[in-house]
Structures are given as structure tokens and as C-alpha cells.
Amino acid sequence: MNSDRTTKGEANGTAPAREKIEQPVEAESRLDTLLSALMRREAQQAEKSPPPQEASPFDVLRDQFREELIPVFEEMKEKYAASGVMLSMDVANFLDGGRQIEIEFVREPFIIRLEGTVTDRAIAFNEIKSTRTVDGAITGGPMLMTRRLTGEKFRGFLCERIATLIKSVLAANRVLSASSTR
């Protein structure tokens, strides 16, 4: 047998050559050196503070609701109450770690309720239009993109929904006026 531990087939070139096996003392010494280097590196990494984890898009949006969007909503709620438009928003589920948001717009006799599910890029709403006496049907509603959402964009979104509500009220008033003049 060869001193470098090759087989007969390897010696005559018919089998692939294997890596030369080191003597046990050399192999153990080399392993000890590698393990020492690994342990030093791990100790150095442990001393360093871990890199800050990037906040999830949900956590960022939760903070944005608390700091910016809820105040915008409250401001609009106050402003439009004088015109008979009542606004309410329930974000408790979302702020507590869930994914649901509800916004309601009321101008008698109509109600528009948005039931939203928060994703990592948007809030997808179902829309329910109803009155106090007639149940509404659930339809696909608007989507509010959250990637570059600002207080002003949220304000614009709310204004569009309020405008939809007012158009429903005006259309109903036209129908009522037309039927009373006949």
C-alpha cells in the first residue's frame, strides 16, 4: 500500500484521486487552530451590539397612525361635524397587533362603512353603503396605499369618501324632490 494512502485504482489512474489524509497529530493541531479562530471571531461578534432590526411595515404604520393619521382624522371629524357629517374610526384592533381597521361616514340617512384589512403595502377596504333602515351590500371598496402615506394623502382619501357620501345624499334628495312635485 502507498504511504500517501491511495488505492490501486488511483495509482494507475483509473479512479479519481483522493485528498491526502494528514497524520492525526497534524490534523488535530490544524483543527484546534481553526476552532480557536472561530471562537475568537464569535466572541468579537458577541461584544458588538446586534444590528438594529428594521421595523416591520405594520409597526411603522401603527406608529404613523398614532402620531399623524389619528390626529388628521380627529381634525376632520371636528370640521365636518358642523355640516352634519359624522365620522368614526376604530383602529384598536390594528394598534393592538391585528390587521383590521374600520372607518364610518354618516350623513343621514346614509352610512358608508369601510372595513379594512392592512397588508404590508396597503389597506384594502370592503365598502358597505346603507341607511338606518336598509341593510347595505358589501362591495369591493377603495385601497389606501401605505408605502408613501402621509397625513395629507390620508386627508385626501377621507375627503373622497365624504364626497361619495354627500353625492348619495344629494341624489336621494333629488329623487325625493322630484317625487314630491308630481
Lateral strand order in the sheet of 86-90: 86-90, 100-107, 110-118, 122-131, 137-145
Q: Indicate left, alpha or beta for 84 from its phi (over 0: left) and psi (-120 to 50: alpha).
A: left
Cell numbers for 111, please give them.
352610512
Rounded to the nearest 10°, the torsion over CA 60, 147, 77, 111 is: -120
Q: What residue spans of the chain are helical by DSSP H? A: 8-11, 24-47, 57-64, 70-81, 92-95, 151-180
Cell numbers for 127, please give them.
365598502
Which pLDDT does position 171 carry in this prediction? 87
Which pLDDT does position 27 carry in this prediction? 83
Which pLDDT does position 87 carry in this prediction? 97
What's CA 32's distance to the chain center, in Å? 48
Which pLDDT tens digits describe the chain residue by residue (182 residues)? Answer: 445 555 555 555 555 556 666 677 788 888 888 888 888 888 888 777 666 678 899 999 999 999 999 999 999 999 999 999 999 999 999 999 999 999 999 998 899 999 999 999 999 999 999 988 888 889 999 999 999 999 999 999 999 999 999 998 898 877 655 555 55
Which pLDDT does position 168 carry in this prediction? 87
3 three-state secondary structure? coil
Integer CA distances (angstroms), 48 to 38, 43, 53, in order:
16, 9, 14
Which pLDDT does position 151 carry in this prediction? 96
Which pLDDT does position 41 carry in this prediction? 86
Nearest to 20 by CA among 44, 39, 38, 2: 2
pTM > 0.75:
no
Which pLDDT does position 96 carry in this prediction? 96
Is the distance from CB of 61 to CB of 118 less than 8 angstroms?
Answer: yes
Which pLDDT does position 8 carry in this prediction? 54
